[in-house]
A = this chain, B = another copy of it.
Amino acid sequence: MAYDFWYWPTIAGRGEFVRLTLEACGIAYRDRAREDGADALMADIADHARGPAFAPPYLGMDGITVAQTANILFYLSERHDCGPSGMKSRYWLAQLQLTIMDLVAEAHDVHHPIGVDLYYEDQKPESLRRAHGFRHQRIPKFLDYFEYALQSEAGDWLAGGRWSYADLSLFHLVAGLRYSFPQRMATLMPGYPELDALHDRVVALPELQDYLSSDRRLPFSQEDVFRHYPELDAP
């Protein structure tokens, strides 16, 4: 049975972390809002028939909703035996995924420091101020951590010899930061050779070739979590 996957149909957003895992693991799904539109998504959220989700992305299946990006990925990796298993790997990968999502939330808040209900243009001076700390303190602090996590494992991946959903997510995080802050990332990335190599290994994964070259992989855009405002970037 194919999962019903629900996310905003026109952006990669947080949904992309789920799409990458669904695709790389070969899990059958229907991208419902891309088939039926954003109105169908809003109607499904309001319906609550399978239990409420606070926000997309979520998976709907027989009588159950699984929401929250990291929770969806944890669920999929367990149910479909995709990626490393074993107690240590399970919680280690969940911990890394949650830290990835923390940085995604901060990347969003750079252009929305005052409120999600306001436009960027209505919080631009605050964004300029927040972007400075994000570029100089927050990105390096998180990337230091991910680089160390990769160094601390014997194999090529975050949990040893086999790729996992967290590796796919880390690839997308690096790609998103490069889209949003190209100048800053050009300065920083030479200091993170393991992270750079991981990004390239995910791009080259045979399991992702079909997806990455398809129109199912949505491009980054200015409506997304990762946005490129030149005034928020600097070397």
Contacts and interface: CB of A to CB of B under 8 A. Distances in A.
Interface of A: 48, 51-54, 63-64, 66-68, 70-71, 74-75, 88, 91-92, 94-95, 98-99, 102, 105, 109, 113-118, 126, 129-130, 133-134, 137-138, 142, 145, 148-149, 152
Given A71-B95, A148-B48, A142 B54 contact: yes
A61 to B, nearest CB: 11
A130 B148 contact: no
Contact of A137 (B52, B63, B99, B117): B117
A70 B98 contact: yes
A118 B133 contact: yes
A145 B52 contact: yes
- Copy total for this chain: 2
B71 A88 contact: no
B68 A95 contact: yes
A85 B64 CA distance: 15
A183 B51 CA distance: 31
Given A102-B105, A114-B129, A117-B137, 6 more contacts: A63-B88, A113-B113, A114-B126, A114-B130, A115-B130, A116-B137
A152 B48 CA distance: 9
Rank and list the top 3 A-B pairs by shortest CB-CB distance, nearest first. A115-B133, A68-B98, A71-B94
B95 A67 contact: yes
A173 to B, nearest CB: 14
B91 A54 contact: no
Contact of A51 (B92, B99, B130, B133): B92
B74 A94 contact: yes
25 contacts: A51-B92, A51-B149, A52-B148, A53-B95, A54-B95, A54-B102, A64-B92, A66-B95, A67-B95, A67-B99, A71-B91, A71-B94, A71-B95, A71-B98, A75-B91, A105-B105, A109-B109, A113-B113, A113-B126, A114-B126, A114-B133, A115-B129, A115-B133, A116-B137, A117-B137
